[in-house]
Amino acid sequence: MQKMQTNSIAAVARTLKEADSILISGHVMPDGDSIGSTIALGLALGKIDKNVAMTSPHQVPDIYKFLPGSNCVQQGMPEGKFDVFVALDCSVPDRLGDELQSLVNDSVTVVNIDHHQSEKPFADVNYIDSNSASTGEIIYDLLKEMNIELDKNIATNLYTAIASDTGSFKYEGTKPTTHHKIADLLQFDVKVAHVSKSIFDEKPIEVFKVLQIALPTLEVSNCGKVAWISFDLMAKDRISAKDEHTEELVDYPRRIKGVEVALFFREISTGSVKVSMRSNYFVDVNKLAARFNGGGHKRAAGCLIDGGISDVREQIVAAAIEAVQRGSLND
Ligand code: 5GP
Ligand code: MN
């Protein structure tokens, strides 16, 4: 199929309506937006009798296993052929992981639904709304466009997707329309307290063990505006922590008063470091991450860098300090 240059939710709806079999996937190291959006769209397309498969490059993290339909999400490339492959919450094919990104150059029609800024949409049919705080909100709009009725299970997944990516409606991207959509979803008896407890409050013991090891690594730059925390492979081996248990570590440096850029360095294998970047007020960390082949949003971004953790840390901290200095001048 020819790549369409238009950015049209109607074209996405049409493509899905015309398909019989549809595969849906979110991104590597999936978060609540990725998983919730995948399941919500999968359940909704099932309701209009599509043959749907839901997958994820990595396993559904334990904290999202309470989601209705999470047991239908497979891992990696499923068997069989599909008419359409829908990539969710992925700004570039890399975010689908090694296996699933091969579908982007395959004969299957690829649909991309996302809320990250993208200079060059990669799919055959794209709908990218970088004003949306979450992919979940776009899925809500898509289901309205397709006249698919919501129900409790779909609403619970969409609520989780939106609550996750807005930090429980606290982040800058939260808009009146976000709350209008949430008000509609709550009419389907979403158990808000249960969702909040599951995704924000209750944590497995490993999260606290990770914190015990990681907090002593917290450092702040001389200027007081950049702070970072690290988690290396040795630390990971000391406790049986999974990636998902380290997800919120970046919030500790971010919450220090006066800090503008917070960084989290996680060694994922020897010679490979995942960097999470957050900013509080003015630094565009999407641009900072892009310098290292990563991406994301203005206030939350990330990248994957080859190198030892100390070298990577030195390089990124220096770039962050420079970005803060440049940003301060423009203020
Ligand atoms: P996190 O730090 O929580 O993993 O990711 C924060 C944001 O940055 C998310 O919006 C995510 O999509 C984006 N992001 C994280 N890592 C990467 C990466 O390696 N490449 C790109 N393009 N985006 C990333
Ligand atoms: Mn998202």
Give me the residue spans of the domains in the chain.
9-200, 205-330
Residues facing 276 on adjacent strands: 264, 302
Per-residue pLDDT, averaged over 235-247, amounts to: 88
pLDDT at residue 12 above 90? yes
Number of helical (H) and strand (E) elements in the chain, helices listed first: 12, 12
Choose which CATH entry (3.30.70.2740, 3.10.310.30, 3.40.50.11540, 3.40.50.620) describes domain 205-330: 3.10.310.30
The residue with tokens 């013991």 is 205
Spatial separation of the C-alpha atoms in residues 148 and 30, rounded to whole Å: 25
Tens of pLDDT, residue by residue over 253-278, are: 999 999 999 999 999 999 999 999 99
Check whether 331 has a pLDDT greater than 60: no
Residue 62 DSSP symbol:
G
Predicted TM-score (pTM) above 0.85: yes
- pLDDT (average), residues 131-146: 98
pLDDT at 1 exceeding the cut of 80 = no
pLDDT of residue 4: 60
Nearest to 60 by CA among 206, 274, 243, 251: 243
Atom of ligand 1 nearest to the CA of 250: 2
CB within 8 Å of 12: residues ≥ 6 apart: 111, 113, 125, 127, 142, 145
Share of the chain above pLDDT 70, in %: 98
Beta-strand pair 272-279/300-306: antiparallel
Rounded Cα distance between 178 and 182, Å, is: 6
Q: From CA 283, how far away is CA 29, in angstroms rounded? A: 25
- The confidence band for 2, taking pLDDT boundaries of 50, 70 and 90, is low
Picking from 219, 247, 197, 204, the residue whose alpha carbon sits closest to that of residue 313 is 219
Proportion of the chain above pLDDT 90, given as a percent: 91
**pLDDT tens-digit series, residues 65-111:** 999 999 999 999 999 999 999 999 999 999 999 999 999 988 899 99
Query: How many residues comprise the chain?
Result: 331
48 Cα to the center of ligand 1, angstroms: 33
Q: Name the architecture of domain 9-200.
A: Alpha-Beta Complex (3.90)
Any residues with CB less than 8 A from the CB of 201 and at least 6 apart, and which? none
For the Cβ of 92 lying below 6 angstroms from any atom of ligand 1, the answer is yes
Q: Is 214 in the pocket of ligand 1 (CB under 6 A)?
A: no
Distance CA(306)–CA(86), nearest Å, equals 29
Q: What angle do CA 235, 236, 242 make, to 5 degrees?
A: 150
Q: Supply the pLDDT for residue 5.
A: 63
Q: Which residue has the tokens 């890399």?
A: 94
Statement: residue 194 has pLDDT above 90:
yes
Q: Is 305 in the pocket of ligand 1 (CB under 6 A)?
A: no
75 half-sphere exposure, CB direction, 13 A CA radius: 7
Average pLDDT over all residues of the chain: 95
Residue of minimum CA distance from atom 10 in ligand 1: 296
Pocket flag, ligand 1, residue 296 (CB < 6 Å): yes
As a whole number of Å, the end-to-end CA separation of the chain is 46
pLDDT range class, residue 3, cuts 50, 70, 90 = low
Among residues 299, 302, 271, 268, which one has the least CA distance to residue 284?
299
